[in-house]
Amino acid sequence: MLPVVIFGAKLRPDGTAGRTLLHRVEAACAFGRARKRVVYVPTGGPCPPSGVTEGHVMARLLHDAGVASGHVLVDETAPDTLASVIACTRLLRAAGHMGPVAVASSAYHLPRCIVLMRMMGWDRVIRVPPPPVPAARGWRKRWFWRLREGAALPWDVLLLAIWRLRGGHDGD
């Protein structure tokens, strides 16, 4: 089975999925339906103030979309993208999966997810087509996210390289 890692997005204050998260799950489901044999790996930790995890909310959305429980492997620990990459790699390696792996996120976030997954030792990382709508309606927010990702990518690459040098070898 092909794992489809779905990267989380901030929840609303009441613990429900926002527009971005809904679109990411929909994109992952569309990709999975076209492939038939997938296991979804929603990842994301608790969001204040509700304390509900992004992973739990995405798992519920997948179940509501008709995905069987046996086809969902949830990570509810990761507070950010880098932690999600590490946690999902551990989860998949523990389940005996050696690759390839697919990643689902918003268009602005996918490059960072793909680079970090490759750094964790995944030889083949498949890009799930992102949602066909922008993650934000306003141009200011879209530019903010582009700038944030431009800074976050080299920072996460550096942090992951340091983590690996200090003995984090989950990608081997």
Number of domains in the chain: 1
CATH of the domain at 23: 3.40.50.620
Per-residue pLDDT of the chain (172 residues; tens, 9 = 90+): 999 999 999 999 999 999 999 999 999 999 999 998 999 999 999 988 888 999 999 999 999 999 998 999 999 999 999 999 999 999 999 999 988 999 999 998 999 999 999 999 999 999 999 987 766 566 566 656 667 777 888 888 888 989 888 887 655 4
Q: What is the rounded distance in angstroms from the CA atom of residue 46 to the CA atom of residue 37?
A: 29
| Per-residue pLDDT at 140 | 67
Q: Which residue has the tokens 């613990």?
A: 15
Q: What is the rounded distance in angstroms from the CA atom of residue 108 to the CA atom of residue 114?
A: 12
CA atoms within 13 A on the CB side of 150: 6
Q: What is the rounded distance in angstroms from the CA atom of residue 83 to the CA atom of residue 131?
A: 23
Q: What is the rounded distance in angstroms from the CA atom of residue 63 to the CA atom of residue 134?
A: 25
Torsion of CA 122, 43, 9, 117, to 10 degrees: -10
Residue 123 included in any domain: yes
Residue 171 included in any domain: no
Domain range holding 60? 2-165
Q: Which amino acid, residue 109?
A: H
Residue 170 included in any domain: no
Residue 160 included in any domain: yes
CB 55 within 8 A of CB 87: no
**Order of strands, edge to edge, in the sheet holding 101-104?**
38-43, 2-7, 101-104, 125-127
Q: Which amino acid, residue 159?
A: L
